[in-house]
């Protein structure tokens, strides 16, 4: 569930903020307490536009303006993806899930909510989709990626954002949530043909076949009379079990309601620590190399001068 970029409000808490505090309290301090500028993140931008395009279509709005924003982002170098990637992905998405969307009732789409915490603090979130199918209610979390699809049932059970959004969803719709679901979308294009290797035989390398559909691979095996070859049959079975190269929906039944209580307790503990602005350095420095606040953090650790700190902050703008 992509969260829109808000003006920094020190009283606003979200799953993203909780996760940042868990990742690194110092990073949380710089982002939310000092509210230092953050560099543009093209992954966040791409994710927001994917969410927005799906929202517009489900709400019957003109999606062309979302595509135009994508085109402009590519043209100005804010996105390093093909100019037609969003439109291609959205068309493929609604073609693939045509039956699903036509057999379920959409209840909420990109619905923002708030609830009070302590004092002036409040929690803010946005629910991607809530739907009803065969009398059961599901909460769907859309995630976009450029990498191969990865989410499993265990990932859904452990998804802090989905578990956090269940109680407010139930209050909003006055009904029990039965399922939680991750809807994973890969920003890539399907292969037009099967990669061939020596002597023109189909590749059996799973990495090389990450964008090849099972139907396309089967057609190539039929063309070369290789369907009965055990080596290729095993690869075809793998592709069939893997599913679509670009889309992966994983839903689990929310039968263990204790998960919600455990998740809420963890959120409360993080909120208390974050609201007190508890700060400590990570022992594992590997994550520090990709942190946008790395330089200012090193400066503070070494107790550098005020002027040099101001310059580092200015360089982040």
Place of tokens 């040099």: 308
Task: Identify whether residues 174 and 224 lie together within a single domain.
Answer: no
The predicted model scores a pTM of: 0.90
Task: Identify whether residues 170 and 231 lie together within a single domain.
Answer: no
Task: Identify whether residues 93 and 226 lie together within a single domain.
Answer: no
Task: Identify whether residues 231 and 132 lie together within a single domain.
Answer: no
Domain enclosing residue 27, as ranges: 12-188+246-275
Proportion of the chain above pLDDT 70, given as a percent: 95
Reported as a single tens digit per residue, the pLDDT across 109-167 is 999 999 999 999 999 999 999 999 999 999 999 999 999 999 999 999 999 999 999 99
Burial of residue 302 (number of CB atoms within 10 Å: 0-12, 13-18, 19+)? exposed
- Interstrand relation of 136-145 and 179-186 (parallel, antiparallel or unpaired): parallel
Task: Identify whether residues 125 and 206 lie together within a single domain.
Answer: no
Task: Identify whether residues 63 and 51 lie together within a single domain.
Answer: yes
**Residue 4 within a domain:** no
Proportion of the chain above pLDDT 90, given as a percent: 81
Task: Identify whether residues 260 and 134 lie together within a single domain.
Answer: yes
Reported as a single tens digit per residue, the pLDDT across 266-306 is 999 999 999 999 887 676 777 788 888 888 888 888 876 66
State the alpha helices, DSSP H only, in the chain.
15-23, 25-28, 42-58, 64-75, 85-96, 98-102, 153-157, 160-173, 214-223, 230-242, 258-275, 294-301, 306-315
What is the per-residue pLDDT for 152?
A: 97
Task: Identify whether residues 112 and 165 lie together within a single domain.
Answer: yes
CB distance 84 to 98 below 8 Å: no
**Residue 7 within a domain:** no
Task: Identify whether residues 106 and 215 lie together within a single domain.
Answer: no
Task: Identify whether residues 233 and 252 lie together within a single domain.
Answer: no
Report how many domains make up the chain.
3
Reported as a single tens digit per residue, the pLDDT across 210-256 is 999 999 999 999 999 999 999 999 999 999 999 999 999 999 999 99
Q: What pLDDT band is residue 177 in, cutting at 50, 70 and 90?
A: very high
């Amino acid at each position: 569930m992509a969260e829109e970029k808000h003006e920094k409000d020190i009283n606003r808490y979200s799953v993203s903020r909780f996760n940042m505090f868990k990742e690194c309290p110092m990073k949380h301090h710089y982002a939310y307490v000092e509210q230092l500028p953050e560099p543009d993140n093209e992954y966040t931008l791409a994710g927001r536009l994917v969410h927005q395009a799906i929202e517009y279509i489900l709400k019957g709005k003109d999606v062309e303006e979302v595509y135009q924003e994508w085109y402009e982002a590519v043209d100005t170098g804010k996105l390093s993806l093909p100019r037609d990637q969003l439109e291609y992905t959205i068309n493929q998405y609604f073609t693939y899930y045509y039956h699903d969307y036509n057999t379920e009732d959409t209840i909420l789409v990109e619905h923002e909510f708030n609830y009070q915490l302590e004092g002036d603090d409040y929690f803010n979130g946005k629910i991607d989709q809530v739907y009803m199918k065969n009398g059961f209610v599901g909460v769907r979390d859309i995630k976009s990626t450029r990498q191969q699809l990865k989410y499993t049932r265990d990932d859904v059970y452990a998804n802090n954002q989905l578990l956090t959004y269940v109680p407010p969803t139930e209050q909003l719709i006055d009904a029990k949530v039965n399922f939680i679901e991750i809807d994973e979308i890969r920003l890539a294009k399907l292969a037009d043909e099967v990669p061939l290797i020596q002597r023109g035989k189909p590749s059996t390398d799973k990495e090389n076949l990450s964008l090849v559909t099972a139907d396309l691979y089967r057609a190539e095996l039929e063309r070369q009379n290789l369907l009965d070859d055990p080596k290729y049959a095993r690869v075809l079975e793998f592709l069939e079990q893997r599913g679509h190269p670009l889309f992966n929906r994983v839903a689990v039944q929310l039968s263990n309601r204790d998960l919600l209580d455990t998740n809420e307790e963890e959120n409360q503990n993080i909120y208390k620590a974050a609201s007190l602005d508890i700060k400590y350095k990570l022992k594992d420095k590997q994550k520090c190399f990709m942190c946008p606040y790395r330089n200012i953090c090193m400066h503070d650790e070494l107790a550098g001068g005020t002027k040099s700190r101001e310059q580092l902050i200015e360089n982040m703008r």
